[in-house]
Amino acid sequence: MKKINLFSLVFILLLSVSANAFVQPSTSEKEKEWEILFDGKNMDKWKGQAGQKFLEKGWKIKEDMLYLEGRGGNILTKEKYSDFELVFEFNLTEAANSGIKYFVNTVKNQETGKTMINGPEYQVIDDYNYKGIKDDPHGKSSSGALYLLYAPKNKKLNPHGEWNKGRIVAKGKKVEHWLNGVKVVSCKRGSKDYLQRKSTTKFKNDEDYGEQESGHIMLTDHGDVVYFKNIKIRKL
């Protein structure tokens, strides 16, 4: 009787282990969680700021990289995102300036009544050579910053010509900026601190700037050459 019970116990344990192993997601299943926004070949997930299809003028694809040559206008994802993790790689040319905005929506200026498409920005800029930034390479307008609101901390930006890895994590009202594996910004949208900082910037009269529940992702056109690759996002 004891032998039968022992055998049964072993059988149940093996069955349990097998079942647990079966339900564990594979690497390929985990990859399915990610939505590829740029695969190095096409821009089907993007549109021009005015609503038109991806602008071939200005924006170019070469050797699996997306970059701007001349002026092509800002481009946005067709879809809006709320809680998300966005990852991307960027390579700056000398003194180049760009940025990735998120929670992008039509924002109304309460003073003038005018509207514009805007949102918080993960700054992408050559800290070492851009005029006005190279003297303050860790300021609120430097790479990794939440532009004009929060300066990055403990960051290490690779110089132009080398690749950098950026990451934006948004969950509820909390936002994090990461640069090359280091968290450089952490804040809460709409908090007292956030609103106080906003009140000292050019966005002070922009209603609900960065406070919407969802919004587009935007690649900005500042007229400079910056290379992007491996842009993907997953919903949290």
pLDDT tens figures, 55-90: 667 899 999 999 988 888 899 999 999 999 999 999
Tens of pLDDT, residue by residue over 2-47, are 444 555 544 444 444 444 443 444 555 456 699 999 999 988 999 9
Q: What is the 3-state secondary structure (H, E, C) of 52-64?
A: CECCCCCEEEECC
Tens of pLDDT, residue by residue over 93-141, are 999 999 999 999 999 999 999 999 999 999 999 999 999 999 999 999 9
The per-residue pLDDT for 36 is 97
Domains parsed from the chain with CATH numbers: 35-235 (2.60.120.560)
Whether the Cβ atoms of residue 146 and residue 131 lie closer than 8 Å to each other: no
- Predicted TM-score (pTM) of the model is 0.86
Whether 177 shows a pLDDT value over 50: the answer reads yes
